[in-house]
Amino acid sequence: MFNAARRGSASVARIVRTSSVPRCIPPPFSPSRACYPCGSGSSVAVRTLSLTATNPYQKPAQAGEAELRDEVDIQQSNSQAREATQHGPVTRFQDLSDRSLVCKTLIRTITTGMGLDTMTPVQSKTINETLKGIDVLAQARTGTGKTLAFLIPVLQNIINYDPNLEQRTFRRSPIDIRAIVISPTRELAEQIAVEARKVTSNTGIVVQTAVGGTAKGMHMRQMREQGCHLLVGTPGRLNDILSDPRSQVRAPNLSAFVLDEADRLLDAGFLPEITNIQQQLPSRRDIDRQTLLFSATVPDEVMQIVRETMKPDFKFVRTVQKGEQQTHEKIPQKQVSVRGFANFLPALLELCKRGLASQDSAMPFKAIVYFGATAEVILAAQTFRNLKAPGSSVFHKHPLHPARIIEIHARLDQASRTKAADNFRRAESAILISSDVTARGMDFPNVTHVIQMGIPISSDTYIHRIGRTGRGDKPGEGWLILADFEAQEARYRLKKLPLVGDESLETAQVDMSQDAQLPEHVATNLTQIVDASRAIDPERKSIAYTANLGLYGWLPHKQDLVDSLNDRAKYCWAMEEPPSVPPGLLHKLGFSRVQGLAASRRTSFGDVPDNGYQRGRSSRSFDNGPDNGYQRGRSSKDSNFERRGNSYGRERGNSDRGGPERAFQRSGARSYDRDSDHDNDRGLGFKPRRREDSWESTKRWMESTDRDSSSGWRRG
């Protein structure tokens, strides 16, 4: 490989001007030597490299001249960058063009097409260093514009190698990967690619993605058909493509390597993949490249990867000053305690309605709701989509209108996740119900609320979720809704966070097992959640029930967890018995001795856990009476909830349940009598199941839970 002047600290020619360097091209037909002087002031350095001609024609001289021209152009660009930054830091994007640091086409797109003028502090500090061509470790928080901070120098670097790419009409058909950007998540990789395509929309640079959840062959076909200069991807898929000899994708001319969210890449265990990717890249002794690493924190693990990937003379750019108020400290954060799982969604609904009622035209209500389990994300999204005003039809206005209900989680394929993220970005008012796939690095405009349901796995997770709102100088609110049994652990995990207790949500502490006189709007919220929950497939509820056993397995008092889950199953989901769980899983999770759990068995729904309907019951199981939803016109002997005027709850009368013996008995054995299955036409109308087609069983369930305007839930 001919390297007349390799970029980097070891290159003498790197630190001198070369705009007027005479080139000496050796004659053909003989082994040759290429010589050129490099001078700065009165000093002159001469570097001599040998070229061995293997072709008896002029090809060696032509190839040597082309590579030498490329190197001289790059050195000239680096020299201009050093000269320009000597006049002071760049704070406006237009300054990059005026000082000949970045090509006019890129800057015109940024300033005119994207409407950006002044750089953020992170962009100003970082771009001033990265344009010099040196390796940079930048400590930058989320929401500070760091994506554009590394895209601008990377794209300019690509154009330096091939100036023809500055024109939009130029398209290079072969794959010529000049830069790779690695992101910890698919969503963040797609977001970076979208931003890069905006910036390069008027150039010939081709941006491609390589992320999991999509067909590998599709990526390969797009790269072969369209070419590729900038490749953005996740570690797993990039490693798969570059290490597969059949893919024929290589990066022999790679000049830039970027690790975004480096701390999260390491937290997720991607170090082996990153190491493998680097082994597939050309040696830096042959092809020099610039490495940029962005990270919100700089722990020892990040410094380890810095030592492995960067040159010794790398530049550390700190954009987070000591004592500076962090992003999550700038927005108000409130903590709400709810009685248990049954109160989670009613409290969330009340909070969303309040936000919609108080929104203004400048900042419409736009919230991200985080759950710790994907099953809870799916269940909550389905419940909120099913919401309707009491007594209204599905054609009436949704109670949360005009907010759209959008869900995103790891179970969706990549195309669906990308579509959901794009829909939420474009929406003026929306509620995004999400797992942690959007918790870091994702940029959603104008998010007014971040609501976290249940205790996050760590304070870092909490902080990164909160970072989706209050971005830049825009306002935002953070809410944390916890069950009472999580309070002690929350004090340990989330210590030193500026959380303030809030008791304004009236549905948070409603005891759904007891009679109570409640305000009409509170009873309405509870009614809407229960009605919406009834229409959800029992299997979906069973999956969520089981997922929470694993999610909260750390609880020392597991009985409190099971009691809370069972209360939700009874009073919110209107199930007569709790969803059942495989016995082996109960033992593995440490719940085998906990009372109130039902072991699974094969049902007509197939090889899925039985949802606990209509088995033989004892007085210590869920009650054998009517369903526990909001019934109207019931006798006082029924143990269901009643709503008369502003009252909410159930008539106690002759009921033998309620108080200390509500739901699952608080004392004594909590097992279920499984000796016999018997017909029972009460409750939700579930009769003993036969081996039958699963669709027929599902259809019977749908018919049995159909709304009847005169008597509440129609019985089979």
Give 610-652 pLDDT, tens digit per residue: 443 333 333 334 444 434 434 333 333 333 333 333 333 333 3
Q: Helix H segments across 469-557?
A: 487-493, 520-534, 538-551
Which SS3 state, helix, strand or coil, does residue 641 take?
A: strand
Cis peptide before 252 (omega within 30 of 0): no
CA angle 439, 444, 446 (to 5 degrees): 125
Please check whether residue 513 is in contact with residue 571, taking contact to mean a CB–CB distance below 8 angstroms.
Answer: yes
CATH for the 132-318 domain, from 3.40.50.300, 1.25.40.20, 3.30.160.100, 2.40.50.140: 3.40.50.300
Residue 210 CA to its chain's centroid (Å):
17
Strands (E), 296-403: 315-318, 333-338, 366-371
User: Quick one: pLDDT band at residue 298, thresholds 50, 70, 90?
Assistant: confident
CA angle 107, 112, 114 (to 5 degrees): 90
User: Quick one: pLDDT band at residue 207, thresholds 50, 70, 90?
Assistant: very high
| pTM of the predicted structure, to 2 decimals | 0.61
Residue 327 has pLDDT above 70, yes or no: no
Rounded average pLDDT over 333-353:
96
- Mean pLDDT across the chain: 75
What is the tens place of the pLDDT at every residue in 80-117?
545 545 556 788 999 999 998 999 999 999 999 999 99
Q: Cα-atom radius of gyration of the chain, to the nearest Å?
A: 32
Rounded average pLDDT over 173-194:
90
3-state secondary structure 447-459: CCEEEEECCCCCH
CA atoms of 160 and 229, how far apart (whole Å)? 13
Which SS3 state, helix, strand or coil, does residue 137 take?
A: strand
User: Quick one: pLDDT band at residue 48, thresholds 50, 70, 90?
Assistant: very low
Query: What is the pLDDT, as a whole number, of residue 326?
Result: 67
Tokens of 493: 């995990």
What is the tens place of the pLDDT at every residue in 525-580?
999 999 999 999 999 999 999 999 999 989 999 999 999 999 999 999 989 899 98
Kindly tell me the burial class for residue 275, based on how many C-beta atoms sit within 10 Å of its own C-beta (0-12, 13-18, 19 or more).
middle
What is the residue type of 261? E
Please check whether residue 620 is in contact with residue 610, taking contact to mean a CB–CB distance below 8 angstroms.
Answer: no
Residue 460 has pLDDT above 80, yes or no: yes
Please check whether residue 508 is in contact with residue 339, taking contact to mean a CB–CB distance below 8 angstroms.
Answer: yes
Which SS3 state, helix, strand or coil, does residue 481 take?
A: strand
Length, in residues, of the chain: 716
Kindly tell me the burial class for residue 505, based on how many C-beta atoms sit within 10 Å of its own C-beta (0-12, 13-18, 19 or more).
buried
Strands (E), 23-135: 32-40, 43-51
Give the range among 427-441, 457-471, 681-695 with minimum mean pLDDT. 681-695
Q: What is the DSSP string of 543-592?
A: HHHHHHHHHTTT-S-HHHHHHHHHHIIIIIS--SSPPEE-HHHHHHHT-T
Most confident of 295-304, 316-325, 650-659, 682-691: 295-304
- Domain ranges within the chain, ordered by starting residue: 1-84, 132-318, 349-372+395-509
Query: What is the pLDDT, as a whole number, of residue 513?
Result: 84
Per the DSSP assignment, residues forming a β-bridge with 642 are 631, 649
Superfamily of chain region 349-372+395-509: P-loop containing nucleotide triphosphate hydrolases (3.40.50.300)
Sign of torsion over alpha carbons 521, 527, 530, 535: negative
What is the tens place of the pLDDT at every residue in 699-710?
444 444 433 333
Query: What is the pLDDT, as a whole number, of residue 287?
Result: 86
Fold match between domain 132-318 and domain 349-372+395-509 = yes
Quote helix, strand, coil % in the chain, to nearest 5.
35, 15, 45
